[in-house]
Amino acid sequence: MPHLILESTLAPEALDPRALLQALQRQLLSSGVFDGPDIKGRVLPLGPHQVGDGQGPQAFVHVTLKLLAGRPPAVRQALAQGLLDTLSAQPGLAGRGVQLSVELLELDPTVYAKRAAS
């Protein structure tokens, strides 16, 4: 835990998803909230999509961070802001009209289960 999910409508040539995922994971590590082996990151490339009425810029990058409930609001806000700042700092995005967003979801520990495969 946590799960870091990167969704992007940009072609890999426009934004290196692996490099961005690594930058986002480094940001989470630097927060001091998580241990490295606990962060599970993945990239979900998106196919057909539309933003608004389809007339304006169409590209977006969205990050979802899923973590167990119980952290104070200030910690959750700092995590979300750190991820958004990391997205904003990526080369090649400025001036392209790409929408950037971060969503933090708290998982109920009473209904979240995991174990290592044996």
**Which residue range forms the structural domain that includes residue 18?**
3-107
Is 117 inside any structural domain?
Answer: no
Question: Tokens 């961070």 — which residue?
Answer: 65
Q: How many domains does the chain have?
A: 1
Is 115 inside any structural domain?
Answer: no
Q: Tell me how crowded residue 101 is: count the other CB atoms within 10 A of its CB.
A: 14
Q: What is the pLDDT of residues 28-75, one digit of tens each?
A: 999 999 988 899 999 988 888 888 777 766 789 999 999 999 999 999
Q: Which CATH number goes with the domain that contains 43?
A: 3.30.429.10
As a whole number of angstroms, the distance between CA 55 and CA 111 comes to: 42
Per-residue tokens: 51: 């933003």
112, HSE (Cβ side, Cα atoms, 13 Å): 12
Q: What pLDDT shows up at residue 57?
A: 66
Is 116 inside any structural domain?
Answer: no
Is 114 inside any structural domain?
Answer: no
